[in-house]
Structure 1
Amino acid sequence: MRQQMVLGTFIFGLSRGFAYDTLDRGSTGGWVSLDIIAGKPKSSQVGQGLETLTLGGKAVRAKGMQRLDELRALQDLRAPLPLVDGLGRNWGLWTIKSVNEKQAGVIDDGTAMAIGWSLVLEEFVNA
């Protein structure tokens, strides 16, 4: 079974009907500017910040709604989770910062025909 990524026990991929189509990765270098009254700001190194990953995609119907509930259940654990990509690369531990969804085409029983979703993860480092 092919998969894009696994977060804890959650599998992203077409085989589960829940694949992401965007991945945004952010990192900072740890530089800040300190204002100086009589000159240009001074650059100072305060240490590298934590990386963030934002995954986004589209899901459909009750299956998509169920997968988002599964992600929220992982978020409710309030624990760092291992992240491994489809090539077997271990990305380390990550926390779920937010799970967002936008439902469209909601029918009379409350099922969304289309769901746009995003998941924001933050690197977990406690060493």
Structure 2
Amino acid sequence: MHHLVIGEFVFSVGDKTPIMKFERTSPGAYSEVSLIYDARSEMTGRPLETLDITAKWLQYGAQESVEKLRTLIESPQQVSDGQGINLGKWTIQQLKEGKSALIHNGQAMVTDVMLQLKEYRE
């Protein structure tokens, strides 16, 4: 089973690319408008949603997986969850990689990955 699919990249325990944390933020469609002696709510439309994904990979091949994710930055990607629910298209806003527990040849035994995705609407 898999946790999440972004484009052709699969987050799963079997592929040694599990997700530790998944957060989806859906902002409201109303904004606060400041007035001289008051404020009011105004319908401004629904802003784009965001996904924040955190992963910790404990393996030698983590660098290859991070590089595969980097190739997806260039264009919007189809995203679906582990239950097969289509979450629509998203763009990768940021990919952050951290390495720790380095061994003698500089390879990381632990790779922390953080992804920020933003909803893509046409």
| 2:16/2:59 contact within 8 Å kept | no
What is the aligned partner in structure 2 of residue 110 from structure 1? 106
Identity %: 29
The alpha-carbon deviation at position 13 of structure 1 amounts to: 0.3
The aligned amino acid for 1:85 is D
The alpha-carbon deviation at position 125 of structure 1 amounts to: 0.7
The alpha-carbon deviation at position 107 of structure 1 amounts to: 2.3
Q: Which range is displaced more, 27-36 or 42-51? A: 27-36
| 1:88-127 equivalence runs, <5 A | 88-126=84-122
The alpha-carbon deviation at position 27 of structure 1 amounts to: 1.1
| 2:23/2:53 contact within 8 Å kept | yes
Separation of aligned partners in 1, 2:19 and 2:82 = 12
| 2:19/2:55 contact within 8 Å kept | yes
What is the aligned partner in structure 1 of residue 3 from structure 2? 4
Q: What is the aligned length?
A: 122
Structure 2's unaligned 5+ residue stretches are: none
Q: Could you say what the CA RMSD is over the residues aligned between the two structures, in angstroms? A: 1.2
| 1:35/1:42 contact within 8 Å kept | yes
Q: Which range is displaced more, 94-103 or 108-117? A: 108-117
The aligned amino acid for 1:89 is I
1:83 aligns with 2:79: yes
1:44 aligns with 2:42: yes
Q: Report SS of the residue matched to 1:4.
A: strand
Task: State the TM-score, normalizing by the size of structure 2.
Answer: 0.93
What is the aligned partner in structure 1 of residue 17 from structure 2? 18
Structure 1's unaligned 5+ residue stretches are: none
Higher helix share: 1
